[in-house]
Each structure stands twice: as structure tokens, then as C-alpha cells.
Amino acid sequence: MTQHGPVCVGIDPHPALLAQWGLADDVDGLRRFSLGVVEALGGRVAALKPQSAFFERHGSRGIAVLEEVLAAARDAGTLSVLDVKRGDIGSTMAGYADAYLRDGAPLAADAVTLSPYLGFESLRPALDAAGAGGRGVFVLALTSNPEGAQVQHAFGVEGSVAGQMVAGARAENAADDGAPLGSVGLVVGATVGAAVRDLNLDLAAVHGPLLAPGVGAQGAGAAELAEVFGEARSQVLASTSRGVLRGGPDAAALRGALAQAVDQARAALAG
């Protein structure tokens, strides 16, 4: 983030963007779009975040393209965050960990998103695999969709559900002695408003990265980020997709849109 700025660009090849780029909604269009983003932005951005669903919808050939994209990002020296939001129990969760967090796995990424709503500890295989392999995870804590509050804001005997996710990440990262940030991050929407304060969440104490959709052109500026993240702003990796991807297919236009997003995020996070 220090070198390229606190921005992660999503690779979201949904049909409308493919059409905007003049590409067909098929595997060839998917490949040209996704690898075009990597070619234009690889080595120039803190991280790239492919959204697995848009590859999965094309079946096995789409997954093969996702493998190419992850390999291309790796070759460009750019970190990848695979947005898969996986969450399960026991051997099934171990299977997901093996698929996405094992060295040499075809779909190995530098980090993945995880859904903890079968219980934070259900993520154990992925947490352990990430820590052992020098990779990372981003656990959903406070998402920006309105429906998220139904679960994430709920209270039980151990406090709010979101608070338990924050506490879980904090405990995991406490073992990463000497690391600038731990391997367990959280997904916290930049547009959740007063939720962090209302739920009494200490995001700075997590000692991990905070993946934040909604920064800059998507609606959240300096005032909103101060309200949501407070002293944790230095941990924020702002996530944007369409705001940058709409600049394509021209590589120079994509890079210009990225530069604008980085400027907006830096200004918003500077406080």
C-alpha cells in the first residue's frame, strides 16, 4: 500500500462491463477483459481482486480463466485477493483452504475473503493455512449491504456478531509477533456509517488489514472514513471495481482511472 497507494481493484467481468468494453459475454470475452485488466494495472496497484462468481458462471472454462488471471497477477508481482466468500465446517473448509491457500494450488491467491457465519472458529483450516503460508484472509465483519445488519448487528451473550468477528481477528493477529499487520483482515464497508461506533468496535486493535468497499467515487470521503475507521484508517485497503474498470478497454484510460482512485483514497484516508 505504501508504494502503490491504498487501493485494491476488483476484476468483476459482469455482462454489462463486458458489453461496455465491446466484448461478448462468453469465455473469450471473459479472458480478454480479465487479462486486459491485469496487463494494464499489474505492477501498478496494491492488489487485484477477482470476483470468483463472474468466472464460475462460465463453468469449467471460466475457472480456467481465473487460474490464468491469478497466475498473471503473480507474474506481474501484484498481490491477489480472491473474492470467494467461502465458509463451511470441518473437512469441507479444509478443502477450501487447500484450494485457495496452498502453495502450488491452481487457484492459490495471496488472500481470500471468508464468510464466518457458521462461527469464527469454523474458519480454522483457512486461518491456519494462511498463517503458515504467508498468505491472508479477509473475514466479513460489517458489509455495506442493508441486509447485513440483520445478522452482523445482532447481539448475543458474547456481544454483537460483528464484535465477535473483530475479537476473533484480533486474537489471531496477536500471535503474529513483529508483523506490521497480521494475516487476518476484516471486510468493513466504508459506507456503514455509525455502525462501528454503535457496536463499540475497536478496529485499530485488530492489527490487521481492513478491506473497505465504497471509498472515493463510490460514496465515502474523508468524513465518512473518519466516522467508520477512526484511528484504524492506516489499515484500510480501499476496494473499487467499476469506478476503475469503466475506463477500459484502453490501458491508458484504466491507469488514469486507477490514479484518480488512488488520489481519492489517499485524500479520504489522510484525515
Known catalytic membership, residue 85: yes
CA distance 2 to 84: 26
**Domain edges within the chain:** 7-269
* R_g of the chain computed on alpha carbons: 18
pLDDT 10s digits, 44-70? 999 999 999 999 999 999 999 999 999
- At 271 the pLDDT is 63
CA distance 52 to 69: 11
CA distance 79 to 70: 9
Angle among Cα 51, 81, 136 to the nearest 5 degrees reads: 140
pLDDT 10s digits, 99-141? 999 999 999 999 999 999 999 999 999 999 999 999 999 999 9
- At 157 the pLDDT is 87
pTM for the complete prediction?
A: 0.95
Cell 440483520 belongs to which residue?
150
Q: Where are the alpha helices (DSSP H) in the chain?
A: 15-20, 27-41, 52-56, 59-75, 90-101, 124-133, 149-152, 161-173, 195-198, 222-229, 242-245, 251-269
Residue 83 CA to its chain's centroid (Å): 6
Which CATH number applies to 7-269: 3.90.226.10, 3.20.20.70, 1.10.1370.30, 3.40.50.300? 3.20.20.70
Q: Are strands 47-50 and 79-86 parallel, antiparallel or unpaired?
A: parallel
- At 221 the pLDDT is 72
- At 216 the pLDDT is 59
Q: At 57, phi and psi to the nearest 5?
A: -65, -15
DSSP code of 42? T
- The one-digit pLDDT tens for each residue of the chain (271 residues) are 678 999 999 999 999 999 999 999 999 999 999 999 999 999 999 999 999 999 999 999 999 999 999 999 999 999 999 999 999 999 999 999 999 999 999 999 999 999 999 999 999 999 999 999 999 999 999 998 889 999 999 998 889 999 999 999 999 999 776 677 999 999 999 989 899 999 999 999 999 999 998 875 567 777 788 889 988 999 999 999 888 999 999 999 999 999 998 998 888 888 6
- At 215 the pLDDT is 73
Catalytic-role residue among 74, 85, 246, 266: 85
**End-to-end alpha-carbon separation of the chain, Å?**
17
